[in-house]
A and B are shown apart, each in its own frame.
Chain A
């Protein structure tokens, strides 16, 4: 399995490290090498059809700030000239246009390549177009890490809970907001809690996407499309951020044994992100940077999951699970006509 990684920041490097670590396991399971043949960052790329050393790529990026020795002007041109089986698209999210990530995914699918992405922009804006293109070209597109990082939710709903009628998904989909609100529970004012989140690396220098609810809204749109089969975009989500939550409001909620959390909610008709009053002890009242989601199903009842919503290795773990699912499916297709058993 030849892999091309677009985006070699924290997540891209994390994936390279995880692939290096789990290479032998994949070889044992699928009797096939999973090798990075290409890697691209915003300025450069490296390509070797016989495979690149993932750890060497990480070292070069750390030392020189570039993943490869060749420059480029159009990422799609590079992708169309390289031979690979699956694109791992982890370039930065652009929720306004979909950015370079959208272009890369369109290009890969157009050439019949499978795609794994954690890039929310393209999925929150052009989900239906990309899924239709993947279907048309017979490609697999997987994006588990785009919602909740390491917290399993998309594949949980579409594969493990496939026989259920899911009536709603409510959850905390942004660890930064949850960290700030948790700190406010303990009496810190909003500005101070935000500053602390920035110092600890939980919040960006420009925290708008997190605190205004845009990041959560992308995830809500992705869930609505992937789990509920809706045809919506980021722009259809009713969004309220947490910037107007005062310490007084948090204290008042606490006096009624409740906390305020930024909750994303999806049903057949609802598509919302906003602060909600959550009773203390409720699964959605968790503190810190964790993500959590409560899935309401007709047969299994409520199913609650939680996990780390971001992070180098955590997000890479979601990409690895998608990669293994693709390798499994491709492996099965290859062995379908053969009398031999599928390797395990």
Chain B
């Protein structure tokens, strides 16, 4: 799940790190941090952090840690579950073709995040490999993307390998 939290920490050295460290310790992934030094309320500075968390149980643990560190949680929002899947495409293609394919997918399927990586042997081999990591907000979106990529790859002569 992706979570957006607005925190207020004491205006003391080390407080920013002290508020972010528990996220990593609980296997969370920090996506974005805004340290808003101009927004000070009652000698506390505002931190806006967006991060990914495994599940609600982990998020509850994080809230407990923050409270124990005297960090004030003023807002906890934009919380939603994400579903991730990895796909591998093997065949004769260039980066533009795969990016166009994913853009086309994005027009009908809600993709939260897409990360495409290619094998390094672009010129050395006829066949290339692309690894696509995708996050969606529903399993139905993943199913739709699976069907879309499967069909596109079959018509383009590309081998399609998906995760489980």
Q: Which residues of B contact A263 (CB under 8 A)?
A: 164
Q: A240-B160, A248-B119, A276-B162 are in contact. Are A258 and B86 (CB under 8 A)?
A: yes
Q: A248-B121, A248-B125, A248-B129 are in contact. Are A277 and B86 (CB under 8 A)?
A: yes
Asked if A252 contacts B119 (CB within 8 A), the reply is: yes
Number of A positions contacting B (CB below 8 A): 21
Chain B's interface size range is: 10 to 19
Say whether B161 faces chain A, with CB atoms less than 8 Å apart. Answer: yes
* Nearest opposing residue in chain A for B86, CB measure: A277
Q: Which of B90, B117, B162 contacts A249 (CB 8 A)?
A: B90
A28 to B60, CA, bound (A): 61
Shortest CB distance B132–A (Å): 11
Q: A244-B159, A248-B129, A252-B131 are in contact. Are A170 and B88 (CB under 8 A)?
A: no
Q: A240-B159, A252-B88, A256-B86 are in contact. Are A246 and B129 (CB under 8 A)?
A: yes
Main secondary structure of the interface of B (DSSP, over half): strand
Shortest CB distance B131–A (Å): 6
* Nearest opposing residue in chain A for B153, CB measure: A240
Say whether B127 faces chain A, with CB atoms less than 8 Å apart. Answer: yes
Q: Which of B86, B87, B90 contacts A244 (CB 8 A)?
A: B90
- The residues in B between 34 and 93 inclusive whose CB is less than 8 angstroms from any CB of A are 86-88, 90-91
Asked if A249 contacts B161 (CB within 8 A), the reply is: yes
- The residues in A between 219 and 274 inclusive whose CB is less than 8 angstroms from any CB of B are 240, 244-246, 248-249, 252-253, 256, 258, 260, 263, 274
Q: Which residues of A contact B131 (CB under 8 A)?
A: 252-253, 256
Say whether B13 faces chain A, with CB atoms less than 8 Å apart. Answer: no
Asked if A249 contacts B129 (CB within 8 A), the reply is: yes
